[in-house]
């Protein structure tokens, strides 16, 4: 099945643009937390991202769970391990296979993961420079002969950087866009979740991200969708899914992908 019309996988440049405008100008989420709640929407002082679950996503204990930077850093680590395991199982004969991203073969998704891991690692460390100021949509990402150890190392360094002191404070840069570091950490995790699905679906691997990772991605993507801003970058317009769909399918639909996509 083909991918959603209008979807692009140019890169993560979309996320900073779509998250901008409603973020605390001090450079952090109000309260330095991301609210992930099965509860009515909170006021703006609770945080930029407030989950408003529906259908299957609303089921559960109903308790409120607020993700602090430390908890989100742990989520980033779990997302890294899921994605790293997928990467490790990619075979050479799959590198030119199609993916849910138009014009992106498996090798290009791997190249994108490698580039974004490096960029968001340096964004966490506030190492602003060539790795963070380059528009990721300027060229089609690809991999070199040593892509496997390089990507494995970068996927290990990424969550470690977001556990470093001050990673979630102040402003930073990624994809040539300056925005709050607290938002950047959420974007980085969302990148791992969504592109992990791209890679899993393209290579026929099972994929079961940690529920907390899906909660973070859902919160970010639903906030972006509700803003009414025009889609672009790596996401297309949200694809409607059944209200009782799994949380993973809801996340994938919000990212502009068809959860039923197959090669």
Q: How many angstroms separate the CA atoms of 48 and 75, rounded?
A: 18
Tokens of 167: 């990673």
Taking each helix axis as running N to C, give the angle between helix 211-226 and helix 247-254, from 0 to 180 degrees, rounded to the nearest 10.
Answer: 40
Query: Kind of pairing, strands 171-174 and 177-180?
Result: antiparallel
How many whole angstroms from its chain centre is CA 101? 14
Number of separate domains in the chain = 1
- Of the two residues 262 and 61, the one the predictor is more confident about is 262
Q: Kindly state the average pLDDT of the residues 97-116.
A: 95
Q: How confident is the model at residue 224 (pLDDT cuts 50, 70, 90)?
A: confident
| Residue 2, pLDDT above cutoff 80 | no
| Residue 238, pLDDT above cutoff 70 | yes
Instruction: Report pLDDT for 68.
Output: 56
Q: Kindly state the average pLDDT of the residues 2-23.
A: 37
Give the domain extent around 76.
14-28+68-254
Domain of 83: which CATH number? 1.20.120.450
142 lies in some domain: yes
Q: In what helix (H) or strand (E) does residue 33 lie, and over which residues does it extend?
A: strand 33-37
Instruction: Report pLDDT for 38.
Output: 21
Instruction: Report pLDDT for 235.
Output: 62
- Of the two residues 223 and 23, the one the predictor is more confident about is 223
47 lies in some domain: no
179 lies in some domain: yes
pLDDT tens track for 191-220 = 999 999 999 999 999 999 999 999 999 999
Q: Kindly state the average pLDDT of the residues 107-113.
A: 97
Instruction: Report pLDDT for 148.
Output: 96
Instruction: Report pLDDT for 67.
Output: 53
Instruction: Report pLDDT for 255.
Output: 93
59 lies in some domain: no
pLDDT tens track for 112-166 = 999 999 999 999 999 999 999 988 878 899 999 999 999 999 999 999 999 999 9
Instruction: Report pLDDT for 225.
Output: 85
> From the CB of residue 128, how many other CB atoms can be counted at a distance below 10 Å?
15
Q: Kindly state the average pLDDT of the residues 155-181.
A: 93
Q: What's the chain's average pLDDT?
A: 75
> Which of 167, 70, 79, 187 is closest to 123 using CA atoms?
167
Q: In what helix (H) or strand (E) does residue 152 lie, and over which residues does it extend?
A: helix 147-162
How many whole angstroms from its chain centre is CA 162? 14
Q: Measured between alpha carbons, how far apart are the two ends of the chain, in Å?
A: 7
Q: How confident is the model at residue 76 (pLDDT cuts 50, 70, 90)?
A: low
Q: Kindly state the average pLDDT of the residues 179-185.
A: 93
> From the CB of residue 235, how many other CB atoms can be counted at a distance below 10 Å?
26
pLDDT tens track for 23-48 = 332 332 222 223 222 222 223 322 34
Instruction: Report pLDDT for 208.
Output: 92
6 lies in some domain: no
- Of the two residues 63 and 128, the one the predictor is more confident about is 128
**Residue for token pair 């950490």:** 185
Q: Which residues contact 98 (CB under 8 A, 6 or more apart)?
A: 105, 202, 263
Q: Return the bridge partners of 36, or none.
A: 65
């Amino acid at each position: 099945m083909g991918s959603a019309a209008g979807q692009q996988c140019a890169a993560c440049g979309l996320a900073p643009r779509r998250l901008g405008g409603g973020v605390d100008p001090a450079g952090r989420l109000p309260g330095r937390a991301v609210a992930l709640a099965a509860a009515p929407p909170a006021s703006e002082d609770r945080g930029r991202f407030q989950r408003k679950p529906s259908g299957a996503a609303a089921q559960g204990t109903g308790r409120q769970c607020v993700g602090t930077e430390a908890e989100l850093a742990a989520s980033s680590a779990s997302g890294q391990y899921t994605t790293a395991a997928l990467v490790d199982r990619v075979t050479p004969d799959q590198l030119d296979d199609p993916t849910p991203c138009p014009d992106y073969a498996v090798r290009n998704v791997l190249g994108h993961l490698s580039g974004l891991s490096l960029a968001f690692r340096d964004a966490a460390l506030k190492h602003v420079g060539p790795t963070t100021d380059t528009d990721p949509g300027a060229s089609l990402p690809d991999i070199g002969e040593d892509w496997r150890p390089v990507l494995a190392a970068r996927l290990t360094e990424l969550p470690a950087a977001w556990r470093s002191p001050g990673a979630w404070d102040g402003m930073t840069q990624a994809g040539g866009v300056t925005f709050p570091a607290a938002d950047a950490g959420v974007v980085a995790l969302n990148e791992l979740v969504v592109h992990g699905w791209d890679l899993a679906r393209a290579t026929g691997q099972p994929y079961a991200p940690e529920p907390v990772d899906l909660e973070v991605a859902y919160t970010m993507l639903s906030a972006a969708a509700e803003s009414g801003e025009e889609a672009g970058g790596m996401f297309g317009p949200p694809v409607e899914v059944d209200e009782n769909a799994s949380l993973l399918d809801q996340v994938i639909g919000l990212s502009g992908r068809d959860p039923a996509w197959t090669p």
